Structure 1
Amino acid sequence: MPGKQMQRLEVDGKFFRSGGERVFLKMVTYGPFPEPRPDVLADDREQMRMIAAAGFNAVRIYGVPDRELLDVARDAGLWVFAGLAWEYWCDFISKPALYSKAQLDLTDGLKNWGDHDALAGVFVANEIPADMVRWMGVRKVCHALEDLIASGKSCRPELLFAYANFPTTEFLEPANADFTAMNIYLEQREDFAGYLPRLHNVAGDRPVLLTEFGLDTRSHGESAQSEAMAWAVQESLLAGMAGLTVYAWSDHWLNRGVLMEDWAFGLNDREGNPKPALRELAGVLPEKKTPEAALQMADWPMFSVVVCTHNGGSRMHACLSSLQALDYPSYEVIVVDDGSTDDTAEVVAGFDNVQLIRIE
């Protein structure tokens, strides 16, 4: 039985919204896996069911999806973020055939699977090496990413598009991306929490989605991974991130065709057994449904919103209506009217709990 149709994911200010409600994106990376697929990962439907049961609401894949995977993700209630697979780690500026193929693959792919309701968005590239960015030129690389995003939007405007960046090249931010996407591997809580506010400066008025975060259990142990998952969720919510992506679902991992056996970032080991980190996440993720989930209303400080205007009566009603719709327990609205001769004062008088200061 097919699952019910998924509501599209949309940008809502600094966050995401679906079906009229804000959503905190809880994503886990899925694959790429070696072929033939290990027996413990052979059934995508069962894996999607397990991912959803742990409290995730999305999966990130590093290639184009087939419709069967999108179907089983939808049946589990999971959004899918796809990745455009092309040779972005090479000099695609001096070898335009690489870039042309990426453009063609993107538009052809979106025509084939872009209409699926489980597909939420597409990353047009992932972590272009810093030395290659400087070799090719920052502006040229950024323009190339922007052109890919523009092509994707022209084909499927209902989808979200972004470039999955990393701190070394945080300056590489496509202007037309729907959100800022950043892969972060800061292993100490203080470093992680200290870096997140900077991402709001990078993003401006767009959402910030952490598109990779994980801890290698071979190097750090399963207990440290479990602890890191817990504080990463909490710090992401406290810093106003739009979502967090855990890297990765399984220790089975293929990187550019090479089987990676020296790392173990998975929430499940190679035998398919869940690690403590998965149990930790399953205990906290289901209740973290909105971006406000980590905030205690009683702890929020009082603040003032000051609206300065001169003859802004035609816009004042919409402005004050939006301010009164704020979901916040303790704030005041002050309108400073700098000698208006229109109906500003009358409009303000129609709102309760709004203070008007008139300057003649």
Structure 2
Amino acid sequence: MGSTHGVGVVGLGVIFAQYRETLVGERDVAIVAVADLDHARAQEVADTIPGCRALSVAELMADPAVDTVLNLTIPAAHAEVALAALAAGKNVYGEKPLAATLAQAQQIMAAGGPAWVGGAPDTVLGAGIQTAREIVDSGRIGRPLAATATWVAPGHEAWHPNPDFYYREGGGPLMDMGPYYLTSLVHLLGPVVSVSGASSRSRDTRTIASGPRAGEEIPVEVDTYVTGTLRHAGGAISTVVFSFDSVATHASPIEVHGETGSIAVPDPNMFEGDVQVRMLGAPDWESVAASAGYRDAGRGIGLIDHVRTGAGRASGALALHVLEIMAELLRSARENTPITLTTTVQRPPLVPLTPASDWR
């Protein structure tokens, strides 16, 4: 590259620790500035990262040492921070979702200009999802026909001391966990052209089970069970389930079914995992050695991938497409009608099998 790519981080909440572990010490990328509503926290963080300064958000946006703004704010602030970064001529890479609403996300993409936009999740670039992708691409299971994606839990109030935002507009199981699963399905099977959804709400209140608010009831403003079908441009159909109303499941997080075989895909919220294949006529499932993806990766590898390769595998266009899938699944459920999507995206390039020593 010739010079280190400067990153300015806005928002130093819990998720920052994972990005920090990936980015600090990486040879082509350096965190040069941080900003947070709590400036004292920003100063504490800056003091522990060589060459990093604690700035206000406005100062960070104007700093010539910052090439890319890493947007780790809460979802409600994603659009404001991203648009400010783009207006300042900075690239922007953000946590999921790209924005709180589809309209805001479209505004971000329209404002890009010469700067690039990227976003989480980048767990899909790890060896788990990418190995499954390599199997699909190799033709080993024949023409892919269908997929399933399943994520269920009894609800975050069981463990989270302040779970209110999971049950407000913009929350719910689909918006919370959907980006991991739907981004993986696009990597595996390509973009989605239409969706049909159904949803329900098991109850109108939830009771917090832990922390100082234990026993407090909170309102539920969103549907807590969302299911639907996605029709991919290549002809495959995916069936998805996301629930805060279920105790547990035996289902694989994702399964891909082809004419001659099926793949059990590991948790897309993780970078690694056991990929299994069962071929037509075989007596059992077979574990497959990793054949693609970044090994031992962590959150932030999508930013590194964009800086180093320019491939933009964790692109803003992909994040926008996934956000539209989610938004229109929910609208389809409300209106009881299938919906044709307006966005599309190129299937990101496969990540070659890359040991940690080659990307760090």
With normalisation by structure 1, the TM-score equals 0.28
The one of the two structures with greater contact order (alpha-carbon pairs below 8 A, sep at least 6) is: 2
Structure having the higher Rg = 1
Give the structure with the larger helix fraction: 1
Q: TM-score with structure 2 length normalisation?
A: 0.28
